């Protein structure tokens, strides 16, 4: 046997170059069309057919079904997509991943595209040096494309020659000698390879190369392709392990959808392959059963027809699939269960550009959390029952812990994204979100201090006067108006947020003016009636805390509008 350790390293290096090229091309495409892809994500609706189209386009763009399905799981985990919406997108992602097989089969085997790789690198290099972002992204995309096909060409050359390495062929021949069980063996092999490589595209490339050189036949290559469909779901299920129940259900729905498809396909497997063989021969493409060099096209047809057929068959049963996964994974009904960030642990391909979309939504949810926490303060002021008051304090304490933890999660997530190559617009959005996240955490701290003050006041049996209580609730009303504008701006475009800045400034000045007004009133009241000194102390502290929250809200509005970012 002539295949030694150096040959193995050559084979592994060729596969690594293929994967690196795909990663580079994917990131270049994301940067080149980042805004358009975020628009595609925004189009995800309850319409299952639009969801399928969205999943198809998304996976075609990023060239990785694992990456796109992990992103969908993350969106469900963050509460941005429902389970029904996510299943439609996942169905589309399965169809989208077939474009990779066609790319490899047609350009990698039918055409000698690798001969153009060096000229493509020559074109991409000056584009990469260009200061204009669009040209830079195009250069990265072309470089990735060139490296991908260089890697595929090296992969073809590094596969052991069957004449000099008959032992390997005998090993695979032994696996094909178990009749119907061989199909299951190769299916398991496809699943294992996809899990190890964390890329169905890489497994597809290996499968096509092995088939093209006669290592395995059309039937066994098709079985590996079916195994890839299971292996690609494992990544999403691993990512969902740290998610909430909705994320786990989405990942499991993907697994069930693919397993159901494989079950019906195995029942007609031989018949299906014969029809593909007849179709190819009828149109003069040669027989994949007889000619190994025709297997790449045959596998591409098989992969595409299977995934489209599976989607058409099961798209009408989405609600039953939802019922099934909800039965298998029932909700535990945790009172404080909160969707949290999912770090797109999608193996080799990272969704940096698209992650900005989720991060923006997540930061807004974080701000909503702080707003809810703030509204516990007026509730605790009017609460007379001791147990209920204590329950509200526990809620505030719990929310304070959550805001601290979420701030760390979001900041860590934003830093991880910022280490990737991003468009200038996406990098600017990340800077704003880091500022906003830090400011929201300050609101949580102030609310916790206010609840502690109210607990001390109750312990000392101090009561606010009717005038003080009225003024406090007037201040709370002003702050809630400011909160509503802030949350609106966080969802709006940068241009609209800037247009709303005068209104944000007006609300902040109104809060400051009201603080100055009530302070004067409190001093006058204490001079008239010294018995109100202690209640005035707590009143002043709460009013000052509210004014601080007003300042923080203005800082958030300015950051969202891209103003005064340090």
Residue 344, in any domain of the structure? no
Please indicate, yes or no, whether residues 105 and 25 belong to a single structural domain of this protein.
yes
Please indicate, yes or no, whether residues 376 and 281 belong to a single structural domain of this protein.
no
Please indicate, yes or no, whether residues 279 and 424 belong to a single structural domain of this protein.
no
Element (H, E) at 462: none
Residue 554 banded pLDDT, cuts 50, 70, 90: very high
Task: Report residue 253: phi and psi, to 5°.
Answer: -60, -40
Decide which of 313, 328, 343 is a domain's last residue: 328
pLDDT tens digits along 281-337? 988 888 888 888 888 888 889 989 999 999 999 888 888 888 998 888 886 554 444
Average pLDDT over residues 417-435: 76
Residue 338, in any domain of the structure? no
Residue 163, in any domain of the structure? no
Residue 71 banded pLDDT, cuts 50, 70, 90: low
Residue 509: predicted pLDDT:
94
Please indicate, yes or no, whether residues 199 and 119 belong to a single structural domain of this protein.
yes
Is residue 379 a contact partner of residue 447, using CB atoms and an 8 Å limit?
no
Please indicate, yes or no, whether residues 288 and 393 belong to a single structural domain of this protein.
no
Residue 338: predicted pLDDT:
46
121: helix, strand or coil: helix
The pairs formed by 36-39 with CB atoms below 8 angstroms and a separation of 24 or more are 37/61, 37/353, 37/354, 38/354, 38/356, 38/357
Residue 336, in any domain of the structure? no
Higher per-residue confidence, 375 vs 76: 375
Average pLDDT over residues 191-215: 77
The answer on pLDDT for 6 being more than 50 is yes
Maximum separation of any 2 CA atoms in the chain, in Å: 106
User: How far apart (Å, rounded) are the C-alpha atoms in residues 135 and 337?
Assistant: 45
Decide which of 294, 328, 362 is a domain's last residue: 328
The answer on pLDDT for 350 being more than 70 is no
Please indicate, yes or no, whether residues 382 and 324 belong to a single structural domain of this protein.
no
Q: Which of 223, 258, 222 is nearest to 237 (CA)?
A: 258
Higher per-residue confidence, 22 vs 227: 227
User: How far apart (Å, rounded) are the C-alpha atoms in residues 375 and 71?
Assistant: 33
Please indicate, yes or no, whether residues 204 and 313 belong to a single structural domain of this protein.
yes
Please indicate, yes or no, whether residues 237 and 375 belong to a single structural domain of this protein.
no
Question: What percent of the chain lies above the pLDDT cut of 90?
Answer: 19
Please indicate, yes or no, whether residues 152 and 99 belong to a single structural domain of this protein.
yes
Average pLDDT, the chain: 79
Residue 529: predicted pLDDT:
63
Average pLDDT over residues 11-25: 76
Higher per-residue confidence, 461 vs 346: 461
Question: CATH number of the domain that 441 lies in?
Answer: 1.20.58.220
Cβ neighbours, 10 Å, residue 263 = 9
Residue 413: predicted pLDDT:
75
Residue 133, in any domain of the structure? yes
Residue 333, in any domain of the structure? no
Is residue 93 a contact partner of residue 72, using CB atoms and an 8 Å limit?
yes
Residue 485: predicted pLDDT:
95
Please indicate, yes or no, whether residues 272 and 376 belong to a single structural domain of this protein.
no
Decide which of 328, 344, 377 is a domain's last residue: 328
Task: Report residue 340: phi and psi, to 5°.
Answer: -130, 175
> Of the ranges 11-20, 78-87, 270-279, 460-469, which is most confident?
270-279
Residue 566, in any domain of the structure? no
Residue 244, in any domain of the structure? yes
Residue 346: predicted pLDDT:
39
Residue 347: predicted pLDDT:
38
User: How far apart (Å, rounded) are the C-alpha atoms in residues 251 and 237?
Assistant: 5
Residue 354 banded pLDDT, cuts 50, 70, 90: low
Q: How many domains does the chain have?
A: 2
Residue 546: predicted pLDDT:
93
User: How far apart (Å, rounded) are the C-alpha atoms in residues 402 and 79?
Assistant: 17
Please indicate, yes or no, whether residues 430 and 523 belong to a single structural domain of this protein.
yes
- Chain centroid to Cα 254, Å, comes to 15
Residue 14: predicted pLDDT:
79
Average pLDDT over residues 205-213: 79
Average pLDDT over residues 498-523: 89
Q: Domain span at residue 279? A: 5-158+168-328
Please indicate, yes or no, whether residues 89 and 233 belong to a single structural domain of this protein.
yes
Q: Which of 136, 102, 137, 141 is nearest to 120 (CA)?
A: 141
User: How far apart (Å, rounded) are the C-alpha atoms in residues 88 and 289?
Assistant: 34
Cβ neighbours, 10 Å, residue 372 = 13
Query: How many residues are listed for the chain in this entry?
Result: 566
The answer on pLDDT for 476 being more than 90 is yes
Residue 259 banded pLDDT, cuts 50, 70, 90: very high
């Amino acid at each position: 046997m002539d295949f030694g350790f150096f040959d193995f390293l050559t084979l592994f290096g060729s596969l690594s170059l293929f994967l690196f090229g795909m990663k580079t091309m994917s990131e270049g495409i994301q940067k080149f069309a980042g805004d358009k892809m975020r628009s595609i994500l925004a189009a995800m609706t309850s319409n299952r057919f639009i969801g399928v189209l969205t999943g198809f386009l998304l996976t075609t763009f990023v060239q990785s079904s694992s990456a796109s399905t992990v992103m969908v799981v993350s969106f469900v985990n963050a509460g941005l997509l429902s389970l029904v919406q996510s299943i439609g997108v996942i169905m589309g992602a399965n169809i989208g991943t077939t474009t990779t097989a066609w790319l490899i089969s047609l350009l990698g085997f039918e055409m000698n595209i690798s001969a153009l790789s060096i000229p493509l690198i020559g074109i991409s290099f000056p584009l990469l040096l260009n200061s204009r972002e669009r040209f830079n992204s195009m250069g990265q995309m072309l470089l990735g494309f060139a490296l991908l096909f260089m890697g595929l060409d090296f992969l073809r050359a590094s596969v052991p020659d069957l004449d000099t390495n008959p032992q390997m062929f005998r090993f695979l021949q032994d696996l094909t000698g178990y009749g119907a069980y061989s199909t299951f063996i190769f299916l398991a092999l496809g699943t294992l390879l996809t899990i190890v490589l964390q890329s169905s595209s890489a497994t597809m490339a290996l499968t096509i190369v092995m088939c093209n050189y006669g290592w395995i036949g059309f039937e066994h290559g098709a079985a590996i392709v079916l195994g890839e469909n299971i292996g690609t779901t494992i990544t999403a299920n691993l990512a969902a392990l740290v998610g909430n129940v909705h994320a786990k259900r989405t990942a499991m729905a993907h697994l069930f959808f693919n397993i159901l498809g494989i079950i019906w396909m195995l029942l007609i497997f031989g018949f299906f392959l014969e029809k593909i063989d007849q179709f190819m021969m009828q149109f003069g493409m040669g027989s994949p059963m007889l000619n190994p060099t025709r297997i790449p096209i045959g596998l591409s047809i098989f992969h595409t027809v299977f995934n489209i057929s599976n989607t058409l068959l099961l798209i009408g049963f989405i609600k039953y699939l939802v019922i099934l996964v909800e039965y298998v994974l029932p909700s535990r009904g945790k009172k404080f269960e909160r969707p949290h960030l999912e770090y797109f642990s999608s193996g080799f391909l990272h969704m940096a550009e698209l992650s900005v979309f989720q991060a923006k939504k997540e930061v807004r949810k974080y701000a909503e959390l702080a707003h809810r926490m703030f509204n516990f303060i007026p509730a605790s002021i009017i609460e007379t029952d001791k147990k209920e008051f204590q329950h509200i304090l526990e809620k505030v304490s719990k929310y304070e812990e959550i805001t601290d933890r979420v701030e760390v999660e979001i900041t860590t997530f934003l830093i991880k994204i910022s280490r990737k190559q991003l468009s200038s617009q996406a990098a600017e959005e990340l800077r704003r979100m880091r500022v906003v996240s830090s400011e929201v955490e300050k609101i949580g701290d102030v609310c916790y201090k206010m609840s502690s003050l109210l607990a001390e006041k109750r312990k000392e049996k101090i009561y606010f006067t009717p005038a003080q209580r009225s003024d406090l609730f007037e201040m709370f009303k002003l702050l809630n108006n400011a909160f509503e504008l802030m949350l609106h701006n966080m969802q709006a475009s940068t241009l609209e947020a800037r247009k709303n800045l005068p209104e944000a400034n007006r609300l902040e000045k109104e809060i400051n003016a009201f603080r100055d007004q009530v302070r004067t009133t409190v001093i006058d009241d204490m001079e008239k009636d010294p018995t109100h000194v202690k209640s005035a102390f707590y009143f002043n502290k709460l009013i000052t805390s509210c004014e601080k929250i007003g300042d923080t809200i203005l800082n958030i509005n300015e950051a969202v509008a891209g103003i005064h970012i340090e």
